[in-house]
Chain A
Amino acid sequence: MTTTTSQIRMEQVREDVRRIGLSGSWRVNDSRADVGMELAALDRASGIQRIEVVDDGITDWDSALLTFLRALHAMSRSRGVAVDVSDLPEGVRRLLAMADSVPERTGARRSTDTVLWVTRVGARTVKGFRDLRDSVSFLGELTLAFGAMLRGRARFRRTDFWAVIQECGPEALPIISLISVLVGMILAFLGAVQLRMFGAEIFIADAVAVGMAREMGALMTAILMAGRTGAAFAARLGTMQVNEEIDALQTMGFSPMEFLVLPRALALILMMPLLAIYAVALGILGGAVVGILMLDLTPTQYYVQTVNALSLNAVVSGLIKSAVFGVLVAVSGCMQGIRCGRSASAVGDATTAAVVNAIVYIVLADSLISVIYVITGF
């Protein structure tokens, strides 16, 4: 057992007076006597009216001594026992007095009552409904802002709009290129394994073209843009909220919805289909590389097969999807940003929520639209 540097000595002076002698070094990083047991013993003892704390040779002290004394104080106060610390070093007494000089403000301490799980479920549900209502009203406000724009009444800076276009259009091309080529190649590989069994390698071109155009082009672009641009929107607007920049807009009579959200939503809705088309083209290119180098198809063969496989419907259905995904990414990014709290961690939360929500919305919308396409035969 390690030797402790601090010692407590208990002494019953009179029947109703207990003396506590403290000695040694009372420092936070020392191994100290177990004061908890002593306090508990004191708490059990009955008939004590007065506790004298005396200095038996305290060599060194810091917060460790003070916390012990405060615990002693709190215990004795609840039992109506007087504590005399007049023998302790002056610094200790002054700090204790200082800690007691401003009484705890009633109601300031947060209650840490354990909450029943039913209550928690209820609170979550209520919050869920409130979030849903928030989203719907945000969409409504955005629609009104679009209406105002169509009537030429929305106020936002054209330069902001072009800057966002640049940000979520051309600047996204490198990452979109990389991912699309790879996705195209992966589709071709996957298809090749199956189709080779039937000697139908040429249909790789169909699989890649239709897969990219109907599904993967729009989906991959949307998920990339959710992580890239949706997160940027949320962080940007959230920081503006923290800096009171959004307040400044409002008090100057600008609607944040028109000034900040509208140009971003508009830019994404315009850019997303373009990026999707680009992704489809590069995906097909990736597929062609696999087809030509590994399956010994000629470029002409691959090209003709692709052109025959691609229908206008396939391309248009992908474009419609990507426009819808654009709205979803813009809305979840901007909404989280605008509704952001006023701290650094709130900006982080907003960014995370923006990306997660956007991806969930994208996948849900993708399923829904695919079902509609199947039903309508589009």
Chain B
Amino acid sequence: MTDLPPYLQISDLTMAYGDFVIQRDLSFTIHRGDIFIIMGGSGCGKSTLVRHMVGLKAPARGTVAYDGMSFWDANAAERARQLRRIGILYQSGALWSSMTLAENIAVPLEAYTILSPADIADVVSLKLALVGLAGFEDYYPAEISGGMRKRAGLARAMALDPDILFFDEPSAGLDPVSAKLLDDLILELRDSLGATVVVVTHELASIFAIGDDSVFLDPDRKTMIAQGAPKDLLRSCEDPTVQAFLRRGVTDKERS
């Protein structure tokens, strides 16, 4: 899939809170239709990187470009148009707690489509059915479990059929079976919708199961130290930090 032109290009990105640099000199491209993994140890700035990619935080330096167009240099209307092509699943779902699941999903539909209320209700129940929550339209986020909230968040992220979906630690706090189901859902979405997917995670199982391409952020050196398909990194990356991460700290010697 790498013969397609790059969809999302990060060049020379430096992220900082005030004077405190989190990561510097990040450059990588995400290709259309790929499942791209952002990995690295805890606290290395994975989620912050996503905040830069979806327009929540402006970079200290460098650019984030969709289809060759720099997001942060564009005007407000252009940015808003770009944001409508993005779907994000937040760590805890981030559902609006004062609205039912159906209302949560209906908000973007009401704002950005010309669908009638009846059509919106149909789309809402379709999206909920896709994530296995058929019949939960009238529940409030506080009334369902954490795993269900996450799936409902995914349904909301998919409301406008986005071109690119961001997942912030999708399997955090899920049991292994639910985490596996979510991985399958991500693969299915990519294959059926043709969406590009960016996943922040440090779950090895899902990294190898779904990742086509990846970037590895190191909190100590404050930059990216590897990129490529996770399976290739496991085989051929020589950096000890990356190897330790991908093998849960187990070296080859201990394995044999």
| A residues lining the B interface (CB < 8 Å) | 155, 157, 160, 163, 239-240, 243-245, 247-254
Whether A252 lies near B83 (C-beta < 8 A) is: yes
CA of A173 to CA of B97 in the docked complex: distance in angstroms? 26
Chain A residues closer than 8 Å to B54, beta-carbon distance: 251
Asked whether any CB of chain A lies closer than 8 Å to the CB of B107, the reply is yes
CA of A244 to CA of B95 in the docked complex: distance in angstroms? 8
Task: State the main secondary structure of chain A at its contact with B.
Answer: helix
Asked whether any CB of chain A lies closer than 8 Å to the CB of B11, the reply is no
Whether B107 lies near A244 (C-beta < 8 A) is: no
From A157, A160, A163, A245, B94 is in contact (CB under 8 Å) with: A245
CA of A160 to CA of B92 in the docked complex: distance in angstroms? 23
Output the nearest chain B residue to A236 by Cβ-Cβ distance.
B98
Interface-central residue, B56, B90, B94, by most chain A CB under 10 Å: B94
Whether B94 lies near A243 (C-beta < 8 A) is: yes
Output the nearest chain A residue to B220 by Cβ-Cβ distance.
A105
Q: How large is the interface on B (under 10, 10 to 19, 20 to 34, 35 or more residues)?
A: 20 to 34
Q: In whole Å, how far is B114's beta carbon from the nearest beta carbon of chain A?
A: 15
From B80, B84, B90, B108, A247 is in contact (CB under 8 Å) with: B90
Whether A250 lies near B55 (C-beta < 8 A) is: yes
CA of A111 to CA of B62 in the docked complex: distance in angstroms? 31
**Given A155-B111, A240-B97, A251 and B92 contact (CB-CB distance below 8 Å):** no
Chain B residues closer than 8 Å to A245, beta-carbon distance: 94-97
Chain B residues closer than 8 Å to A253, beta-carbon distance: 80, 83-84, 111-112
> Closest 5 A-B residue pairs measured CB to CB?
A244-B94, A248-B94, A253-B83, A244-B90, A253-B80
Q: In whole Å, how far is A63's beta carbon from the nearest beta carbon of chain B?
A: 26
Chain B residues closer than 8 Å to A250, beta-carbon distance: 55-56
Whether A244 lies near B91 (C-beta < 8 A) is: yes
Interface-central residue, B54, B56, B86, by most chain A CB under 10 Å: B56
Whether B97 lies near A247 (C-beta < 8 A) is: no
Q: In whole Å, how far is A309's beta carbon from the nearest beta carbon of chain B?
A: 45
Chain A residues closer than 8 Å to B90, beta-carbon distance: 244, 247-248
Asked whether any CB of chain A lies closer than 8 Å to the CB of B88, the reply is yes
Q: In whole Å, how far is A245's beta carbon from the nearest beta carbon of chain B?
A: 5
CA of A244 to CA of B88 in the docked complex: distance in angstroms? 11
CA of A245 to CA of B92 in the docked complex: distance in angstroms? 10
CA of A250 to CA of B51 in the docked complex: distance in angstroms? 11
Output the nearest chain B residue to A163 by Cβ-Cβ distance.
B98
Q: In whole Å, how far is B70's beta carbon from the nearest beta carbon of chain A?
A: 18
CA of A243 to CA of B51 in the docked complex: distance in angstroms? 15
Whether A252 lies near B92 (C-beta < 8 A) is: no
Interface-central residue, A163, A243, A254, by most chain B CB under 10 Å: A243
Whether B86 lies near A251 (C-beta < 8 A) is: yes
CA of A200 to CA of B76 in the docked complex: distance in angstroms? 67
Chain A residues closer than 8 Å to B107, beta-carbon distance: 157, 252, 254
Q: List 19 A-B contacts (CB under 8 A).
A: A155-B111, A239-B97, A243-B94, A244-B91, A244-B92, A244-B94, A245-B95, A247-B56, A247-B94, A248-B88, A251-B54, A251-B56, A251-B86, A252-B83, A252-B108, A252-B111, A253-B80, A253-B111, A254-B111
Output the nearest chain B residue to A157 by Cβ-Cβ distance.
B107
CA of A160 to CA of B106 in the docked complex: distance in angstroms? 14
**Given A250-B56, A251-B54, A252-B107, A240 and B84 contact (CB-CB distance below 8 Å):** no
Q: Which residues of chain B from 68 to 106 have any CB-CB distance to chain A below 8 Å in the complex?
A: 80, 83-84, 86, 88, 90-92, 94-98
CA of A326 to CA of B107 in the docked complex: distance in angstroms? 28
